[in-house]
Amino acid sequence: MSTSATTSIPMLRERPAWKALSKHYEEIRTRHLRELFAEDHARGERLVAEGAGLFLDYSKNRITDETVKLLRQLADESGLADRTAAMFRGERINVSENRSVLHIALRMPKSESLIVDGVDVVAEVHEVLERMAEFSERVRSGAWTGHTGKPIRSVVNIGIGGSDLGPVMAYEALRHYSNREMTFRFLSNVDSTDFVEATRDLDPEQTLFIVSSKTFTTLETMTNARSARDWALAALGDEAAVAKHFVAVSTNAEKVTEFGIDTENMFGFWEWVGGRYSMDSAIGLSTMLAIGPERFRELLAGFHDMDEHFRGAPPERNLPVLMGLLAVWYSDFFGAQTVGVMPYEQYLKRFPAYLQQLTMESNGKHVTLDGRPVDYDTGAIYWGEPGTNGQHSFYQLIHQGTRLIPVDLIGFAKTLNPLRDHHDLLMSNVFAQAEALAFGRTEAEVREEGTDEAIVPHRVMEGNRPTNVILAGQLTPRSLGALIALYEHSVFTQGVIWNIDSFDQWGVELGKALAQRIIPELESESEPELSHDSSTNALIRRYRTMKRG
């Protein structure tokens, strides 16, 4: 299918809206949020949007109605509506890998269908979901037993990158809903310490390994899977045990069979699911085992709610579109290098790490879809920590440092673990931080407090630091799904404006290839001939000497 309509749009700086925004920025950069709020008393009620159960207050951004209008125009000129429609139709919008991008099909209800290359992908998705559900029920109920007849009580997901970060984030986020009788571990690093610590207290007779790998060739995952097989067989002593203690999630049936896992115990997905967009495919098997099939379906429904909102809501009320456009505004006009994402919800402690891959692997790109070098900044650096911990650490730099750091603050109206007044205390910090960042404290205010004159400049807080506040009712599978899809589509929106391929990841390839070449040089008994640069050669020699010593 052709994507020429989307690859031939003018370079970003040539688009009229971009030029208008550049001029407009010169006015806005000198405006303070204090003035913008003083001029418009309804600003805090007007610059908000709601969708899929999430509420976004974007009023504390350095924007006016004119900014929003011009950003919307930029989205139009960048072909956002066409590109969104193309994704939902299953066109091959991942041009450098010539693939469709259909994570949105993973959460379509069974009653819908989406025909791509003559195949109803929604029907295929639901076939796998049903197999996953049946398997999960058997394991959770104890009907599926290990080789010695004991029920499974520990599940270890072996995977890395997209086959790890989503599952571990979802498990932590939904731990409240998980089966507390079972233990869940996530093994990703090829560092043997990760393996040893993940398995040291587990009983092989009651442990199930899920080998999660789209390609089933990833060095880290396959190395850990082989060590897991040795670990299990050392205790169970019979090759036949593999069938009871290992299942695979992959698109590569041949490699799964080669490893010794029966394809009966394999849950498939498809080329059109990118690794970092796969936690709601069979890669989410560990999530389903933890929370059960019903709740997994609620998670999918939350994703779908946001997909529908993204597809249907007008841009000025569309959460992912607004957040994506604001991200572009700060990256490219204000020169912001990073975005902080601070969930005021302890269960979301792995959410920033998950988002780092989603945002940075997707939009860390240097050429346009048709291969021209970009002459503007693309994806920002994403980072974050749960509130309130971050406040007692790095927030100082956000408040009074010299860099502009837009921040997303995420909070929930109800806690899952009510305890005295903890939750109001937690949430008061969300609102207080957004307020302090926006309005700061002026010199006059500091003086009024009777501050010693020499200390006044130290205590002044400039303010004018932008935030988005995202609120939801309670952390549930459904609200989690909506929150993740919000960021997925915000990333997509940014990628469309920048006209880059948000769905490939060629940048991770070179390091992998070079490591393959160095492995034998580290393992060789005899002194290998080295032909790297002088630094790499010397490091390899030093390592060889040090490990012998």
Q: Given the rule CB under 6 A, which residues bind ligand G6Q?
A: 160-163, 213-215, 218, 221, 274-276, 361, 505
Given the residues 361, 385, 488, 521, select the one marked as catalytic. 361
Pick between residue 218 and residue 433 the one whose CB is nearest to ligand G6Q. Answer: 218
Q: What is the 3-state secondary structure (H, E, C) of 260-321?
A: CCCHHHEEECCCCCCHHHCCCCHHHHHHHHHHCHHHHHHHHHHHHHHHHHHHHCCHHHCHHH
Q: Is 512 a catalytic site residue?
A: yes
Query: Counting beta carbons within 10 angstroms of the beta carbon of residue 179, is it exposed (0 to 12), middle (13 to 18) or buried (19 or more)?
Result: middle
Burial of residue 95 (number of CB atoms within 10 Å: 0-12, 13-18, 19+): middle
Return contacts of 84-87, CB within 8 angstroms, 24+ apart: 84/310, 84/311, 84/492, 84/496, 86/3, 86/6, 87/492
Task: Provide the 10 A C-beta neighbour count for residue 533.
Answer: 9
Measured between alpha carbons, how far is 528 from 522 in angstroms, rounded to an integer?
A: 8
Residue with Cβ nearer ligand G6Q (70 or 247): 247
Task: Record the tokens describing residue 227, joined without a space.
Answer: 């060590």
Smallest distance, ligand G6Q to C-beta of residue 369, A: 18
Could you confirm whether 392 is annotated as catalytic?
A: yes
Nearer to ligand G6Q, 115 or 515 (CB): 515
Our CB check for ligand G6Q shows the closer of 360 and 540 to be 360
Whichever of 397 and 508 has its CB closer to ligand G6Q, that residue is 508
Nearest to 89 by CA among 398, 309, 311, 241: 311
Comparison of 215 and 337: residue with beta carbon closer to ligand G6Q: 215
Q: Which of 41, 366, 392, 547 is catalytic?
A: 392
Peptide bond into 3 cis (omega under 30): no
Rounded to a whole number of angstroms, the minimum distance from the CB of residue 1 to ligand G6Q is 22
Q: Which of 376, 381, 341 is nearest to 361 (CA)?
A: 381
Query: Residue 151 phi/psi, 5° resolution?
Result: -70, 155
350 within 8 A of 168, measured Cβ to Cβ: yes
Give the tokens for residue 245: 């203690």
Q: To the nearest whole angstrom, how small is the minimum distance from the Cβ of residue 447 to ligand G6Q?
A: 53
Closer to ligand G6Q by Cβ: residue 12 or 101: 101
Structure tokens at 93: 């919008």
Number of residues that this document lists for the chain: 549
User: What six digits make up the tokens of 467?
Assistant: 């935030």
CB-CB contact of 136 with 184 (8 Å) = no
Name the minimum Å distance from CB 320 to ligand G6Q.
19
> Least Å distance between CB 362 and ligand G6Q?
8
Q: CB-wise, 214 or 245, nearer to ligand G6Q?
A: 214
The amino acid at 388: T
Other Cβ atoms less than 10 A from the Cβ of 325: the count is 26
Contacting residues for 70 by C-beta, under 8 A, at least 6 apart: 17, 20, 21, 24
- Distance between CA 5 and CA 2 in Å, rounded? 8
Distance CA 218, CA 512 (A): 9
Q: What is the nearest approach in angstroms of ligand G6Q to the Cβ of residue 197? A: 21
Q: Are 448 and 473 in contact (CB under 8 A)?
A: no
* Helix-then-strand count for the chain, H and E: 24, 13
Least Å distance, CB 227 to ligand G6Q, is 16
Query: What are 309's two structure tokens?
Result: 């909102």
HEC profile of 183-224: EEEEECCCCHHHHHHHHCCCCHHHEEEEEECCCCCCHHHHHH
Instruction: Output the smallest distance, CB 530 to ligand G6Q, in A.
Output: 28
Smallest separation (angstroms) from ligand G6Q to the CB of 99: 12
* 160 vs 168, beta carbon nearer ligand G6Q: 160
Q: Distance between CA 217 and CA 514 in Å, rounded?
A: 16
Which is closer to ligand G6Q, CB of 275 or CB of 302?
Answer: 275
| Residues with a known catalytic role | 361, 392, 512
